[in-house]
Amino acid sequence: MSLLFPRLAFADDALAFRVGDQTLTHRELARRAGGHAADCLARGLRPGDRVAVWATADVDTVVALVGHALVGLVSVPLNPKLGRRELAHVLGDAEPRAVFAADPAAFADQAPSEPVGTAEAPPPERAVDDEPLLVLYTSGTTGAPKGAVITARNVAANLDALADRWGWTDADVVVHALPLFHVHGLVLGLFGSLRVGGALHHLGRFTPEAACDALGGEGSMLFAVPTMLHRLADAAEADRTLVAGLRAARLLVSGSAGLPVREHRRLERLSGRGVHERYGLTETLINCGVSAAGDPQPGYVGPPLPGVELKLVDDERRELDAHDDETLGEVAVRGPSVFAGYLNRPDATAAVRDADGWFYTGDLAARRADGAIRIVGRRSVDLIKTGGYKVGAGEVEACLLEDPAVAEVAVVGEADPDLGQRIVAYVVPRGDAPDVESLIQRVADELTPHKRPREVHFVDGLPRNAMGKVQKKRLGTPGPQAETSGEER
């Protein structure tokens, strides 16, 4: 039987997790996660039940996430900044049987009752099976976010492939400041570190100084989104004492959005070795990565990981057999890490995954002769990547349209040197122009702060084609992730 977190079954006193001045060894994590799991079972929860987790970056939350994984409870990690409407949607859709919050006061209404705490702790073993492990909410072009169901086998297969590509071992300490409610911070950062038997040092909040400090100390790998790397480069150019940390790292990894070649070059100069990029989606986990055994490849996300089949397809989903670094096609992938489907949404699942198991990513790419993939954009301008977060234009538009002073609105992602894309709303007012700050705050309060427009422009009308459809490409400057051809779907 293969275990999801083998080292927890033979736990010792090596570091497993650090945040601030709190730490967990593998032994402590195994004991406390087992105890948490026992409490859940004593309270009547059963394997397969969903448990929402208020995903703050702290020891108790990590214990809960691991405890659930060990006994087959399905964690639904929640962004602690979720606004009213989005929180209600996720809870209504996932229907968790319980909610875990390290600080129940922060989540007063839905908090679980006091722990029972009498049950025997189950052994810290979870086999790699095809049962759900996580439900991760992710945005689409329209509508509210959908819950991607990720199984234990999806995660194990992907982490093993990444360990292979990065030479990732129990000697590694990953440093990151990513949220624990998305694939990047949770699956790769936390579960990945535990699966290889290494450790995660979570910075709590991202600052270039804290990242460089940790890498100059116990940290060996940095996981970051491009926005963080851009801020790191700015800071290290201004303060050369930060360079030592960057140079001490074994591997700097970028993902969740494209790292511009310009930023690659800056970080290469500063760190001496540069940044290895990898590419993935919530629904497929990581598909491609540049090998740590070779140099970084600015502009490329590397070839597919072991076990991942990848093809480029045209608009009719016919395979394009091009390896010329030029022909653009949509990336489709198949393999053991493709998710089990969207919760409660067989229609949405069928739209992205065909009967042969191919998942259509919506990303446009070219392929080099050696198989390396270059991501050039997305088919839809309605998917925005801002600071590494995916935001659907439709969800922000629907929220803004609830303001009675908004007659029409179009939301787009515009190129931004820090965020990759920044969310911009073009609003046709009904009568007097509404207050910009209140429009922005509505999105922060109802959805989540990172979905808020950073700019609002008032316009007399929206550009439309002969059919009356809004032509978003005629609004502003598209960001690097959305500027390519392809229909607006």
Choices 53-61, 149-157, 224-232, 314-322 (CB under 6 A): range interacting with ligand MCA: 224-232
Footprint of ligand AMP (CB under 6 A): 138, 183, 255-258, 277, 279-282, 301, 361, 363, 375, 378, 385, 390
**Pattern 74-93, ligand MCA, x by CB under 6 A:** -------x------------
Give long-range contacts, CB 8 A cutoff, 24+ apart: 313-320.
313/360, 315/486, 315/487, 317/354, 317/360
Residue 390 CB, shortest distance to ligand AMP, in Å, is: 4
How many other CB atoms are there within 10 angstroms of residue 17's CB atom? Answer: 24
Binding to ligand MCA, residues 229-258 (CB under 6 A):
255-256
As given in the structure block, the two tokens for residue 14 are: 């090596």
Compare residues 132 and 179 and give the one whose CB is closer to ligand AMP: 179
Residue 177 CB, shortest distance to ligand MCA, in Å, is: 7
What residue 296 binds from ligand MCA, ligand AMP, none (CB within 5 to 8 A, per partner kind)?
A: none
Contact between 150 and ligand MCA by CB under 6 A: the answer reads no
Give me the torsion for CA of 374, 380, 386, 390, rounded to 10°.
-100
Choices 51-59, 159-167, 325-333, 449-457 (CB under 6 A): range interacting with ligand MCA: 449-457
As given in the structure block, the two tokens for residue 322 are: 């091009």
* H/E run at residue 101: strand 98-101
**Pattern 376-395, ligand MCA, x by CB under 6 A:** -----------xxx------
**Pattern 201-220, ligand MCA, x by CB under 6 A:** -----x--------------
Strand-pairing partners, residue 322, are: none
What residue 452 binds from ligand MCA, ligand AMP, none (CB within 5 to 8 A, per partner kind)?
A: ligand MCA
Dihedrals phi, psi of 296, to nearest 5 degrees: -60, 160
Residue 284 CB, shortest distance to ligand AMP, in Å, is: 9
Longest dimension (CA), the chain: 68
Q: Do 250 and 275 contact (CB within 8 A), yes or no?
A: no
HSE of 471, CA atoms in CB hemisphere, 13 A: 8
Contact between 190 and ligand MCA by CB under 6 A: the answer reads no
What is d(CA 378, CA 487) in angstroms, rounded to the nearest whole number? 10
What residue 449 binds from ligand MCA, ligand AMP, none (CB within 5 to 8 A, per partner kind)?
A: ligand MCA
How many other CB atoms are there within 10 angstroms of residue 482's CB atom? Answer: 25
Question: What is the Cα gyration radius of the chain?
Answer: 22
Residue 231 CB, shortest distance to ligand MCA, in Å, is: 8
Residues with Cβ < 8 Å from 418, sequence gap 6 or more?
227, 230, 231
What is d(CA 25, CA 196) in angstroms, rounded to the nearest whole number? 14
DSSP, collapsed to helix, strand or coil, labels residue 67 as helix
As given in the structure block, the two tokens for residue 129 are: 């099976």
What residue 361 binds from ligand AMP, ligand MCA, none (CB within 5 to 8 A, per partner kind)?
A: ligand AMP
**Pattern 270-309, ligand MCA, x by CB under 6 A:** ----------xxx---------------------------
Question: Strands 373-378, 383-386: parallel, antiparallel or unpaired by DSSP?
Answer: unpaired
Site size for ligand MCA, by CB under 6 A?
24
Choices 109-117, 174-182, 328-336, 456-464 (CB under 6 A): range interacting with ligand MCA: 174-182
What residue 375 binds from ligand AMP, ligand MCA, none (CB within 5 to 8 A, per partner kind)?
A: ligand AMP
As given in the structure block, the two tokens for residue 358 are: 């191919």
Compare residues 225 and 427 and give the one whose CB is closer to ligand MCA: 225
Strand-pairing partners, residue 434, are: none
Binding site for ligand MCA (CB under 6 A): 81, 178-179, 182-185, 206, 225, 227-228, 255-256, 280-282, 387-389, 441, 444, 449-450, 452
